[in-house]
């Protein structure tokens, strides 16, 4: 059997599973991460993201299924794939009382294939790429959490990489730190690096992603480009009015099941059932005053809540 396939995908899995005893933490997932994408791997805590990532990187055994990383079968061809992949999983342990720069020198020295003659240059370039040149000589214990995350990414960038895998890189960061990581990902992605980034918070990564996958209880419940995912079969109608009962009756006559929800009336309407103008006309004719009206595709957040039964704003 061929050990690698044409690498259209930076990551491809087939029926990938991980069980801990009788518990299926990852349950037969088929991931397809296109090259050049910024791929958001979303799901509530405990949905199987880290377990998946550890198998992708050969950090834990695969219970069932297949993993191809840059076209190489894992873990058999780990030595071919891993040098081209940078990863941030559970953060590297930095020495707090030496500088960020010295820390990277130590990590680089531990890599036997890294040429010592070009070490300083390599480390300085990595620090510059993550915006830590000015703080390079500061001790790591004086770094903010965001700076530590950037140092960890610099560490992953000591060698040229085609793919960076980041497990919850914004977890625990303040809004400023989160913005720094997002900007860094944008810059590196524009240089052609593929990103696979996990998060339990949609809002923290949706702005930078080109593709998303959603995990729920070990299963992959959604996957695709943002464009594909925003094509929804249903629309959400939201109406503000004082005449709630009258409005609900008009909508019912239009075969739209509506509910009063605090100060609004909300309904799910199949796409193409009726034009918004027609709804407004019928409401006006029935003398329902309209304070505001919208008929929109659900937001990604609304979609994911319906897919996972959970919001992404759960406690960190
Ligand atoms: N080493 C382990 N031993 C037993 N169960 C584990 C282990 N690691 C993870 N799990 C379980 O697997 C499930 C998925 O965990 P994890 O992959 O860490 O999820 P996430 O990263 O999405 O929060 C959880 O139910 C977790 O308790
Ligand atoms: Mg995790």
Is residue 169 pLDDT above 90, yes or no? yes
Question: Tell me, what's the pLDDT at 310?
Answer: 64
Q: For a pocket test of ligand 1, which of 41, 51, 166, 312 has the largest count of ligand atoms closer than 8 A to its C-beta?
A: 51
Give the mean pLDDT of 243-264: 92
Q: Taking a C-beta distance cutoff of 8 angstroms, is the pair 30, 221 a contact?
A: no
Pick the atom of ligand 1 nearest to 53's CA: 17
- Rounded Cα gap, residues 257 and 254, in angstroms: 9
Task: Show the ligand 1 pocket: residues with CB < 6 angstroms.
Answer: 20, 25, 43, 45-51
In this prediction, residue 297 has a pLDDT band, given cuts at 50, 70 and 90, of confident
For the stretch 165-195, what's the b/e string if a residue is b when 16 or more beta carbons lie within 10 angstroms of its beta carbon? bbbbbbbebeeebbebbbebbeebbeeebbb
The answer for residues whose C-beta is within 8 angstroms of residue 307's C-beta and 6 or more apart is 214, 216, 221, 222
- Rounded Cα gap, residues 288 and 276, in angstroms: 15
Q: For a pocket test of ligand 1, which of 41, 42, 47, 48 has the largest count of ligand atoms closer than 8 A to its C-beta?
A: 48
Question: Tell me, what's the pLDDT at 5?
Answer: 47
Q: What is the pLDDT of residues 115-138, one digit of tens each?
A: 999 999 999 999 999 999 999 999
In this prediction, residue 316 has a pLDDT band, given cuts at 50, 70 and 90, of very low
Is residue 158 pLDDT above 80, yes or no? yes
The answer for residues whose C-beta is within 8 angstroms of residue 290's C-beta and 6 or more apart is 239, 240, 241, 280, 283, 284
Is residue 3 pLDDT above 70, yes or no? no
In 3D space, the residue among 128, 259, 271 whose CA is nearest the CA of residue 187 turns out to be: 128
Pick the atom of ligand 1 nearest to 48's CA: 17
Question: Tell me, what's the pLDDT at 307?
Answer: 78
* Average pLDDT across the chain, whole number: 91
Q: Taking a C-beta distance cutoff of 8 angstroms, is the pair 291, 243 a contact?
A: no
Give distance in angstroms: CA of 68 to centre of ligand 1. 22
Q: What is the pLDDT of residues 60-91, one digit of tens each?
A: 999 999 999 999 999 999 999 999 999 999 77
Q: For a pocket test of ligand 1, which of 17, 19, 20 has the largest count of ligand atoms closer than 8 A to its C-beta?
A: 20
Least confident of 179-188, 225-234, 239-248: 225-234
Is residue 4 pLDDT above 50, yes or no? no
Of the ligands numbered here, which is closest to the C-alpha atom of 218?
1
Whole-number percent of the chain with pLDDT over 70: 96
Question: Tell me, what's the pLDDT at 195?
Answer: 97
Give the mean pLDDT of 250-260: 93
Give distance in angstroms: CA of 248 to centre of ligand 2. 44
Q: What pTM was estimated for this model as a whole?
A: 0.84
- Rounded Cα gap, residues 296 and 258, in angstroms: 15
Domains with residue ranges and CATH for the chain: 9-230 (3.40.50.300), 234-296 (3.30.70.100)
Question: Tell me, what's the pLDDT at 151?
Answer: 95
Give distance in angstroms: CA of 165 to centre of ligand 1. 18
In this prediction, residue 93 has a pLDDT band, given cuts at 50, 70 and 90, of confident
């Amino acid at each position: 059997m061929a050990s690698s396939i044409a690498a259209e995908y930076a990551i491809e899995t087939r029926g990938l599973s991980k069980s801990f005893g009788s518990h299926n933490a990852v349950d037969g997932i088929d991931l397809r991460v296109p090259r050049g994408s910024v791929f958001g791997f979303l799901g509530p805590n405990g949905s199987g993201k880290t377990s998946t990532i550890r198998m992708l990187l050969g950090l834990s055994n695969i219970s069932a299924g297949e993993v191809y990383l840059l076209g190489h079968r894992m873990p058999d061809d780990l030595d071919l794939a891993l040098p081209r992949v940078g990863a941030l999983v559970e953060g590297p342990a930095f020495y707090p009382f030496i500088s960020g720069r010295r820390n990277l020198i130590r990590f680089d020295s531990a890599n036997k294939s890294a040429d010592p003659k070009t070490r300083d240059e390599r480390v300085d370039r990595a620090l510059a790429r993550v915006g830590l040149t000015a703080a390079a000589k500061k001790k790591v214990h004086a770094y903010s959490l965001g700076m530590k995350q950037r140092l960890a990414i610099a560490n992953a960038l000591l060698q040229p990489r085609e793919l960076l895998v980041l497990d919850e890189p914004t977890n625990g960061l303040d809004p400023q730190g989160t913005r720094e990581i997002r900007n860094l990902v944008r810059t590196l992605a524009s240089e052609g690096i593929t990103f696979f980034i996990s998060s339990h918070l949609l809002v923290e990564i949706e702005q930078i992603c080109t593709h998303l996958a959603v995990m729920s209880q070990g299963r992959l419940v959604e996957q695709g480009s943002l464009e594909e995912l925003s094509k929804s079969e249903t629309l959400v109608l939201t109406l503000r009015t004082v005449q709630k009962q009258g409005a609900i009756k008009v909508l019912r006559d239009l075969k739209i099941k509506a509910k009063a929800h605090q100060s609004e009336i909300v309904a799910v309407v199949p796409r193409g059932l009726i034009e918004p103008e027609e709804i407004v006309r019928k409401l006006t004719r029935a003398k329902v005053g309209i304070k505001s009206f919208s008929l929109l595709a659900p937001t990604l957040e609304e979609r994911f809540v319906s897919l996972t039964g959970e919001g992404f704003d759960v406690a960190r």
